[in-house]
Chain A
Amino acid sequence: MAVVAAGGLPRPSLRKRLAARGIDGTTLLVLPGVILTLVLFIYPCIYGVVDSLSPAKGPWYANYKIFFTDPFQYKTIAATLWLSIPVTIINVVVAIPIAFRVRLMRRQRLLTTILVLPITLGTVLVADGLLNFLGPRGWFNKTLMLFDLIEHPIRLTNNYWGVFASLVITGFPFAFLLTLSYVSGIDPAIEQAAATLGAKARQRFFKVFLPLLVPGLAITFCLAFVQAFSVFPSAVLLGAPSGPTRVIAIAAYQAAFEQYNHSLGAAIAIIMGLAQLLVVVVILGLRSLFYRGPAGGTKG
């Protein structure tokens, strides 16, 4: 006997009940993408955690102990932060006023196209170009000498400043384009209203725009920081990869693919991920202290 519901109507079939919750043939189309991402991304991440906790010898935490007791290893965290935090702050802070100015431009396209070049070409090409450009006989030093700003060429490659420059060249356009997209999302009527009520440019920025922009800026900062923190090719090519720019990515790569200790490599990669996560959590925590709400001027 079929189960009959109290109302006397037969219970709908499983297929109909699922469809009512939004699961039918069309929904199943999501599966190939989900399965591939689970197998190729989520599973390796879990595997990395397990792998890092099962070292070749010693207790389960041996890899982490190796990392945090060897100054050659744990100093990479400070070296990476020392590069990525100043670069990110400069990139984001400089991007804000420029984005505000460019927002008023009618023909932004040329500028944004030029700025998207270093992002698309990638760090390897930028590193190759900077080796020429910033080198002792490059155009940068020659220009500074032409204007008598310096007497002798200054050394800008194979040290901290080379990596710094490469992170600015690729990171600034990234921060700028993201900020521009957030700034353009703010209704210009809000600024006009503030101006009508007599607010000066400085007041309009700090009292009207900045609070509206904080969520976007927090996300921009996080994304820009995470990219700078995982710098790898330019730290090798333009920096001093055994000295001051031995960033954590180099340590992870060397452990996994030069010493063939994939367990230690995974551990360092996880430490790298956790350090990034920590900074992101701090930034997003700070952000929650600020205003949240719509950036549109009219009713929803």
Chain B
Amino acid sequence: MIRDTGIGSKLWRFAIWAVVVLFVLNLIGVIAAVVVDSLATRWLGTWLPAGWTTRWYFQAWREFQLTPVLIVTFEIVFTVVVISGLVGVTSAYALARRDFPGKRLIILIFLLPLLVPPLTYGIPMATLLYQAGVGGRFWGVVLANLVPAIPFVILVMIPFIEQIDPRIEQAARVFGASTTSVFIRILMPLLLPGMLAALLLVLVRTLAMFELTFLTAGPTSQTLVVSLYYAVFASGVRAAQSIDAMAVVYMITTLVWLVLALQFVNPTQIVARAKQQAPQ
């Protein structure tokens, strides 16, 4: 590490850390404002509310019917995780192990849904799903959410599978293991950490996926984040604290899984995915 000790570079360092601290303070302020307001009896123009209460949570739970919303949310999210896990891991295995003509094209097809923002392709996709009769229903939301989820699993899993020595599988075959038992007894245990990371990240991303769910969900297939959007959109109808209580519920459901996912991955990987492979 190289340190410059001049006054200019000290000032520069100070300025950089000041920007970081300011940003983090504002970020914490934004999140804390939601949490504090959800626990406030009345909060008008003071630094902290006049009193504390938890009743908004009970009220929000009733007003926004959070029990059915949460059930639907987790049904949708877990269906997406299971399907994208099954499809994604098998595709990633083929892409990691074989070189075949057209492989680059296939990888491009998988990259596109992650690079194109959901609203750009979501509108024609939602139109099609409505024409097919699944729009506004459970399966419409699941299908829409599979579009970014499957490529995400594939791109996270490819480097994971590549680093497993294919000779391990060959050795198992030499000793007479069938394809099924190679898969269950050799590959699965080796892939488990990677799969857990990929699937937890898909879970978090699907929980927080607003655009695609918003475009395809009907009244009975809304996930929590879409309900939250409608609540904030119609703010003034309900107490602000009640909406913020719902926001805290959403925050907790998402963060629990994020904390779990961070046991397996570095935060940088959530954004940068597997592009930065250290050279072997």
Render A51-92 as a binary contact track against B, CB cut-off 8 A, 1 for contact: 100000000000000000000000000000000000000000
B27 in contact with A33 (CB, 8 Å):
no
B123 in contact with A253 (CB, 8 Å):
yes
B27 in contact with A44 (CB, 8 Å):
no
Residues of chain A contacted by B151 (CB below 8 angstroms): 37
Render A228-272 as a binary contact track against B, CB cut-off 8 A, 1 for contact: 011011001100000000000100110011000010011011001
B232 in contact with A237 (CB, 8 Å):
yes
B98 in contact with A22 (CB, 8 Å):
yes
- Give the residue of A98, A116, A201, A272 whose beta carbon is less than 8 angstroms from that of B270: A116
- Give the residue of A22, A37, A102 whose beta carbon is less than 8 angstroms from that of B99: A22
Q: Does A6 contact B (CB under 8 A)?
A: no
Q: Does A174 contact B (CB under 8 A)?
A: yes
Q: Does B17 contact A (CB under 8 A)?
A: yes
* Complex Cα spacing A80 to B113, Å: 22
B34 in contact with A296 (CB, 8 Å):
no
Q: Does B82 contact A (CB under 8 A)?
A: no
Instruction: Give, as a whole number of angstroms, the nearest-CB distance from A73 to chain B.
Output: 15
B124 in contact with A169 (CB, 8 Å):
no
* Complex Cα spacing A229 to B47, Å: 35
Instruction: Give, as a whole number of angstroms, the nearest-CB distance from B24 to chain A.
Output: 6
B233 in contact with A236 (CB, 8 Å):
yes
Residues of chain B contacted by A104 (CB below 8 angstroms): 1
A169 in contact with B26 (CB, 8 Å):
yes
Within 8 A of B (CB), among A74-122: 94, 97-98, 101-102, 104, 109, 111-122
* Complex Cα spacing A26 to B99, Å: 11
A8-16, A136-144, A284-292: which one contacts chain B?
Answer: A136-144
**Closest Cβ neighbor of A200 among chain B residues:** B4
B26 in contact with A36 (CB, 8 Å):
no
* Complex Cα spacing A172 to B272, Å: 14
Within 8 A of B (CB), among A200-234: 200-201, 223, 226-227, 229-230, 232-233
A33 in contact with B125 (CB, 8 Å):
no
Q: Does B97 contact A (CB under 8 A)?
A: yes
Q: Does A163 contact B (CB under 8 A)?
A: no
* Complex Cα spacing A176 to B61, Å: 37
Instruction: Give, as a whole number of angstroms, the nearest-CB distance from B66 to chain A.
Output: 15
By CB atoms of chain B within 10 A, which of A121, A126, A140, A223 has the most? A121
Q: Given A47-B128, A51-B127, A237-B229, A29–B90 Cβ distance below 8 Å?
A: yes
Residues of A within 8 A of B (CB): 21-24, 26-34, 36-38, 40-45, 47-48, 51, 94, 97-98, 101-102, 104, 109, 111-133, 137-140, 142, 169, 172-174, 177-178, 180-182, 184-185, 188, 191-192, 195, 200-201, 223, 226-227, 229-230, 232-233, 236-237, 249, 252-253, 256-257, 262, 265-266, 268-269, 272-273, 276, 296
The 4 closest A-B pairs by CB, nearest first: A48-B124, A33-B91, A22-B100, A230-B117
Other contacts beyond A132-B240, A172-B23: 8, CB < 8 A: A101-B16, A101-B17, A113-B267, A118-B27, A120-B258, A126-B30, A129-B33, A177-B268
